[in-house]
């Protein structure tokens, strides 16, 4: 298939098939239309949701960084660092409100929409528009929260763009990819590892430049060793951290791609060394500023402990076992076959498609690779191949929210493959894009995560309202949440001085932020903060030296632990029961 080039903005070059009658002006108008659509959707939804604990965690850590505390040494978080520094910058720039943390993601989603448009443009203008619209409708607005996952998705798209648009001969290509991969990792470690495996697999599938000159490498030991190590790591992760259903749905495809590349790779040992060197140099350049930050502040060991040992242990908490995509798929299938009405039919089909996108894409990618072989190169499979590995992000916690982090770019990969097969496949996939985008926006964007499977399949929606009484929110939230937090904040501020401290157990970082009261401990979640006898003893010592004025304890929280119960035994010997409110038992110090 012969391609012709089209250049945009002076440096972006995309390629399109002859006969498509594309013009630069028409493409720019189409891209502008998609970006305008994205801007309207983001403007409407960016402040229409909150997840109190997650929003509170990001806001609490950002506020403490702005107050001069050192990340990981003085305040704990399980992310590698970039998300907290970006959040601190956003809050410093836009004000001490939770809504401030949304603004960088609104901007990145607009850019991301534009990038996906140009990634898909070689498959046709309508394909590009539908894929870009899906990147708006099925990403940030589905879960408008300043989570590191949205930043990771953006940098994944950036990696795709570099691999697709920068010529293989360019000395900057692999260095830029290494820089972006480590940057992605420093936003969210697991996403960085999974995307890194996908990128390495793709690079090892590219035909060797020496092969193109007629010199086929003989020794492929390094390439196959590297692929085997990545495969072993992926299998270990799937065995230890996921269920059998997730393994089948999301794991078999990437593992199949790894095996195919291991058999067909043309990369000799020298090629692998030449590939790894610039990748590592680019990665070191991305890592250096954060490394120097922790080296200068004496927080290196705490950084490694929080982001490796504590983060890896996260999925050992019992509530991770409660959700399964395989069960959700079965429940949705039953609802589809026995719908309660047209709304139930539409939403059960919507959920079924979202869960099956990843295995369908992986199957189509493997089928295409097996059919075309190495003779045609693997460049046409860049987007589908990497999207198949990125889809593994969803199995970390098998909830609809984690599907939202992956399905849009997975669907973009499906669009890419389907558009090349036949007119029927192209228009059928475009119609599916319209269906998913419309259903996602109308029934699911900005909706509470507490709806559960029944509420999601039923398409239930709840209204949200501004909360002017909660000055540090700036978001539209549910009326019940607004009432609960207004009363809790009023009680905290009434019972504690402005410079006073509170302790919220096992988790409640939003209360520190909303009440503008100090947290005397390093942690905001006891499930992460106290994992040993020594950490419990250190916390009790901290509370003796800097006793909080109030202690709020929510029993039966899924982050509750035996250490929280023992810490509360200490609290009850020194505090009196004041009230029960908003699900919390509230204790007041005797020293008043």
State how far the Cα of 458 lies from the Cα of 36, in Å rounded to an integer.
Answer: 30
Measured distance CA(81)–CA(79) in Å, rounded:
6
Whole-angstrom Cα distance, residue 514 to residue 489? 7
pLDDT for 20 equals: 43
pLDDT of 219 reads 82
∠ CA 158-160-164, nearest 5°, is 120
DSSP-derived secondary structure letter, 167: -
Distance CA 287, CA 350 (A): 40
DSSP labels, 431-468: HHHHHHHHHIIIIITT--GGGHHHHHHHT-----EE-T
**Amino acid 397: pLDDT:** 85
Average pLDDT, consecutive stretches of 10 residues, N- to C-terminus, the chain (592 residues): 42 43 75 96 95 95 96 94 96 96 97 96 95 97 95 98 93 96 96 96 82 62 94 92 88 95 90 94 96 95 91 72 84 88 94 96 93 72 96 90 94 95 92 96 92 88 90 93 95 94 95 96 92 93 94 89 93 92 90 54
- Burial level of 95, CB count in 10 A (0-12/13-18/19+)? exposed
pTM, two decimal places: 0.93
Residue 547: burial class (beta carbons within 10 Å; 0-12, 13-18, 19+): middle
CA dist 501 and 551 (Å) reads: 9
Q: Are 418 and 122 in contact (CB under 8 A)?
A: no
Question: 14 Cβ partners below 8 Å, 6+ apart?
Answer: 5, 6, 8, 118, 119, 121, 122, 165
Specify burial of residue 141 (Cβ count, 10 A radius: 0-12, 13-18, 19+): buried
Q: How far is CA 90 from CA 98, 107, 232, 407, 512, in A?
A: 10, 12, 39, 27, 19
- Looking at residue 19, what is its pLDDT? 38
pLDDT tens digits, residue range 76-98?
A: 999 998 999 999 999 999 999 99
Any alpha helices (H) in 206-268, and if so which ranges?
209-212, 221-241, 244-246, 252-264
Alpha-carbon distance 491 to 582, whole Å? 11
pLDDT at site 216: 63
At residue 557, the 3 state secondary structure works out as coil
CA 321 distance to own-chain centroid: 20
pLDDT at site 557: 85
Residue 219 CA neighbour count, 13 Å, CB half: 7
pLDDT at 17: 43
Distances, alpha carbon 67 to alpha carbons 19, 71, 451, 546, in Å: 60, 11, 36, 18
Backbone angles phi, psi at 7, to 5 degrees: -110, 140
């Amino acid at each position: 298939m012969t391609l012709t080039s089209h250049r945009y903005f002076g440096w972006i070059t995309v390629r399109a098939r002859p006969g498509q009658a594309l013009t630069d002006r028409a493409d720019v108008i189409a891209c502008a239309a998609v970006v305008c659509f994205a801007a309207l959707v983001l403007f409407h939804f960016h402040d229409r949701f909150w997840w109190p604990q997650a929003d509170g965690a990001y806001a609490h850590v950002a506020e403490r960084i702005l107050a001069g505390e050192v990340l990981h040494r003085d305040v704990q978080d399980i992310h590698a660092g970039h998300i907290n520094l970006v959040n601190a910058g956003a809050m410093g720039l836009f004000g001490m409100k939770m809504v401030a943390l949304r603004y960088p993601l609104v901007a990145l989603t607009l850019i991301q929409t534009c990038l996906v448009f140009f990634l898909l443009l070689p498959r046709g203008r309508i394909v590009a528009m539908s894929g870009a619209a899906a990147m708006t409708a099925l990403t940030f607005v589905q879960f408008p929260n300043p989570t590191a996952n949205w930043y990771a998705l953006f940098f994944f798209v950036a990696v795709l763009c570099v691999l697709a648009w920068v010529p293989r001969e360019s000395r900057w290509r692999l260095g830029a990819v290494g820089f972006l991969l480590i940057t992605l990792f420093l936003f969210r470690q697991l996403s960085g590892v999974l995307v890194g495996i996908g990128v390495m697999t793709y690079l090892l599938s590219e035909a060797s430049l020496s092969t193109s000159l007629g010199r086929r490498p003989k020794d492929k030991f390094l390439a196959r060793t590297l692929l085997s190590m990545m495969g072993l790591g992926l299998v270990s992760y799937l065995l230890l951290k996921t269920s059998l259903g997730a393994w089948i749905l999301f794991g078999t495809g990437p593992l199949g791609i790894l095996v195919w590349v291991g058999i067909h790779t043309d990369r000799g040992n020298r090629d692998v060394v030449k590939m790894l060197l610039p990748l590592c140099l680019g990665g070191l350049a991305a890592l250096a500023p954060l490394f120097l930050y922790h080296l200068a502040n004496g927080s290196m060991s705490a950084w490694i402990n929080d982001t490796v040992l504590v983060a890896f242990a996260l999925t050992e908490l019992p509530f991770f076992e409660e959700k399964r995509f395989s069960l959700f798929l079965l429940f949705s299938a039953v609802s589809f076959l026995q719908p309660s009405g047209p709304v139930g039919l539409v939403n059960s089909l919507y959920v079924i498609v979202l869960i099956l996108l990843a295995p369908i894409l992986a199957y189509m990618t493997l089928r295409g690779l097996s059919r075309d072989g190495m003779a045609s190169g693997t460049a046409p499979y860049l987007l589908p191949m990497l999207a198949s590995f990125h889809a593994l992000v969803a199995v970390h916690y098998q909830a609809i929210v984690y599907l939202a982090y992956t399905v849009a770019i997975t669907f973009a990969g499906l669009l890419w493959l389907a558009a090349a097969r036949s007119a029927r496949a192209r228009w059928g996939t475009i119609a599916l894009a319209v269906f998913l985008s419309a259903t996602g926006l109308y029934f699911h964007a900005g909706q509470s995560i507490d709806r559960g499977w029944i509420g999601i399949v039923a398409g239930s929606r709840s209204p949200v309202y501004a909360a002017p009484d909660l000055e540090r929110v700036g978001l539209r939230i549910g009326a019940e949440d607004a009432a609960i937090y207004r009363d809790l904040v009023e009680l905290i501020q009434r019972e504690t001085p402005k410079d006073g401290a509170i302790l919220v157990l096992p988790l409640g970082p939003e209360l520190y932020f909303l009440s503008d009261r100090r947290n005397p401990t390093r942690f905001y979640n006891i499930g992460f903060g106290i994992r040993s006898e020594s950490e419990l003893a250190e916390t009790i010592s901290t509370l003796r030296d800097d006793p909080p004025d109030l202690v709020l304890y929510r029993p039966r929280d899924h982050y509750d632990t035996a250490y929280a119960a023992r810490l509360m035994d200490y609290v009850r010997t020194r505090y009196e029961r004041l009230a029960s409110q908003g699900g919390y038992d509230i204790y007041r110090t005797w020293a008043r």
